[in-house]
A and B are shown apart, each in its own frame.
Chain A
Amino acid sequence: MQGQFVTLLKEMGRNLRDLLPILCVVVLFQLLVIREPMPELERRIGGAIFALVGLTLFVRGLSMSIFPLGDGMADWLARRGSLALLLGFGFAIGFGSTVAEPALSAVADQAALALTSTDAAGGDDGQAARFSLFLRYTVAIAVGVAVAVGVLRIVKGWPITWFVLPGYALATVLALFSQSALSAVAFDAGAAATSAINIPLMLALGVGLAGMIRGRNPLLDGFGLVALASLTPMVVVLIFSFVLE
């Protein structure tokens, strides 16, 4: 218990070092450029202390739980050798982590409002809510499929560029042709869909799998799941806005 506490304190010291640059930037701009006292200073300082403690606990907790869990799962799945189970797990991880993601829900609501209000039929609230739910589930299914494909890629040794580069190309072409106000939102939503929990888990799964399968290098083949999982929501929301307009 004592050792735990010392480790945490040491890590907090390291995180404080990481926080110093941003503190310097804020102080520098406040003093030299803005030259006004900062409003609610005590509250901001309190927030920074919360952030420091939270950051330390979170990073420590990840290496105690999510990383070994992901490794263990990958290890078991690779030993078992059942591709169906492996793909099922990949899908479940992608779907589960996306469907309740707060950032995605916010974007889906916004997109639903924007689309139903331009609708000639005159959008009511119920329609917008249904559409938002539909969009969220579509995106979650798409991310699930993306993670399953990413896992399959690791097993088969396909290059990640086969999937990610055409995906980005498609997203860009869709954005160029739709000229919809929604396209910027779609891109940002994709980036927001990969968050604090699913990124570490996808890394653990990918790296663990690549480490277990002969001929795969964890560093070379274990990455790429996050890229796929953030790209897919972009493409799906873009296709939605393209079809609907």
Chain B
Amino acid sequence: MENIAALLIDEAIKTVLDIAPIILVIAVFQFAFIRRSLPHLPQILAGLAYVAIGLTLFRIGINESLIPIGRDMAYQLVGLAYAAGEASVGDYLPIFAFAALLGFTATLIEPTLIAAASRVQELSGGSLRALTLRLVISCGVALGLVLGTVRIVQGFPLEYLLAGVTASLILLALTAPRGIVPLALDSGGIATSVVTVPLIAAYGAAVAEAMPNDATAADGFGLIILALLLPAVLVLSLAQIQARFMNRLNKGGSDEV
């Protein structure tokens, strides 16, 4: 029981550190400049309490469940690939599949993405569905995690992989339908937050550590940036495909219009 109390206090401090500066900024602006009473102050205060309590409980929860599970499983899966001696790429298939599924499903419970996606649905009047957006972005994180895992087991330099990904991101962003670009560029940042960042960090360190070659935990870095960039690449690619497709449809049947 003491254990839980200590955990609660520790995480509560982190949450307060996260929230306090922002509350301070808002309070200063509210009282020094706006000087207008807030209409729903009790509701806002209750909401802030929800945010603080919710974030604390959530962090403890994933620290006790998702993060150790992801770390242990990654470690064991890499170990299994080596159990039969020298491992070829095929022996790594279970860990690649795990990376994809872990990235996909973890992003589905990313709270910032849940909140942002429902906001987008609201703003677009329902034409961009929240669930669709979350599924596409989750696929992007999954793709990033697989790429990063392939990189770690193959020992490929991160810089070259990043150069390729950034180059394609720039190319896609310059040619995609303009309306989707800001949302696409933000999508990765929104998706890498309270669930995915600690989970991917723990996962990457475990994979790098379990590798029998001279990879160290430091080689586990570089996964989060790939998980941040790939959703943008995927959203932009899909927007391009959709635009081309619509174009062709319009050309085919545009006579009446």
A residues sitting closer than 8 Å to B (CB atoms) are 15, 18-19, 21-22, 24-26, 29-30, 33-34, 36, 38-40, 43-69, 72-73, 76, 85, 89, 92-93, 96-97, 99-103, 159-161, 164-165, 168-169, 171-172, 175-176, 179, 181, 183-185, 187-188, 190-192, 194-201, 203, 207, 217-227, 229-230, 234
Contact = CB atoms under 8 A, between A and B. Distances in A.
Contact of A227 (B24, B186, B227): B186
Contact of A64 (B43, B159, B182): B43
A66 B43 CA distance: 11
Nearest to B65: A47
Interface string B11-38: 0001001111110111011000110101
Interface of B: 14, 17-22, 24-26, 28-29, 33-34, 36, 38, 40, 43-66, 68-69, 72-73, 76-77, 80, 94, 98, 101-102, 104-106, 108-109, 111-112, 114-116, 119-120, 123-124, 128, 158-160, 162-163, 166-167, 169-170, 173-174, 178-179, 181-183, 185-186, 188-190, 192-194, 197, 201, 218, 221-225, 227-228
A200 B112 contact: yes
Given A53-B54, A188-B223, A191-B225, 12 more contacts: A18-B109, A39-B72, A44-B69, A58-B54, A67-B119, A97-B22, A169-B170, A176-B160, A184-B158, A184-B222, A194-B192, A229-B189
Contact of B57 (A33, A54, A191, A198): A54
Contacts of A30: 73
Instruction: Say whether chain B's binding surface is mostly helix, strand, loop, or mixed.
Output: helix
Nearest to B40: A68
Max chain B Cβ within 10 angstroms of own Cβ: one of A22, A47, A217: A22
B243 to A, nearest CB: 15
Max chain B Cβ within 10 angstroms of own Cβ: one of A51, A53, A97, A229: A51
Contact of A61 (B28, B50, B73, B182): B50
Nearest 3 interchain pairs by C-beta: A61-B50, A64-B47, A51-B61
Given A26-B73, A188-B201, A200-B116, A161 B173 contact: yes
